[in-house]
Amino acid sequence: MKREGSIISIKIISDKIIYYDASFYIGEEYDTFTLNDDISKLGFGYSAITREINKFKDKINRRITTWKVEKNGAFAYILSLLGGLVGDKTNMKRIIPEWITEGNKLIKREYLSAFQGGYGSKIYYQMNGTTFKISMGITSQITTPEFEDHTIKYMYQISNMFKDFDINTKVNIKEGIGKDKKIIDL
């Protein structure tokens, strides 16, 4: 499932957050409705679903359709309490909660699947003689110099969780577009 998600907050009066909204961008229609059903089964009711044709293009269809799933209120708030990143990820301290980094392999696998699906490239098996080798393209995070150290630590958290599955990655730091951006990738 290819996906990306975000939690936004709306602040009113003295920077007090009073409203949360979670959005997920899903690549497959089936996955979209499965996510919607899961949110409902958790007792949060159904989500708003919209189909979007975006600017990204694939080689076959010349465009990519994504499905946007939105759920606000208590569901989005709980995601933030569980460690979901709230706001513009480029300009924030990113950290994976300990309950994930120290969790069992199932928890780590689900987190890495969501992370890789949202930010990375597809993980695939490549035949290497008579054995299979796991391969993946570059996975990047863009940040500002102010949050560069935090983003590097975040990517090392990701890298260390991949090691639990015998997947070796290396954290790289590159200059981004313009003076005020850095690219941290695996």
Residue-wise pLDDT tens digits, 111-159: 898 888 777 666 677 777 888 877 777 888 888 889 999 999 999 999 9
| First and final C-alpha spacing in the chain | 20
User: What is the per-residue pLDDT for 9?
Assistant: 60
User: What is the per-residue pLDDT for 38?
Assistant: 94
Give residue 54's domain range: 1-87
Residues 182 and 98 in one domain: yes
Residues 24 and 57 in one domain: yes
Return d(Cα 136, Cα 186) in angstroms, integer. Answer: 9
pTM of the model: 0.76
Tokens representing residue 3 in the block: 């996906």
- Residue 91 pLDDT grade (very low, low, confident, very high; cuts 50, 70, 90): confident
Residues 167 and 100 in one domain: yes
Give me the number of domains the chain comprises.
2
Residues 67 and 131 in one domain: no
Specify whether the CB–CB gap between 136 and 116 falls below 8 A: yes
Q: Sign (positive/negative) of CA torsion 109, 114, 118, 122?
A: positive
| Beta-strand pair 123-128/131-136 | antiparallel
Query: In this model, does residue 18 exceed pLDDT 80?
Result: no
Average pLDDT over residues 48-68: 68
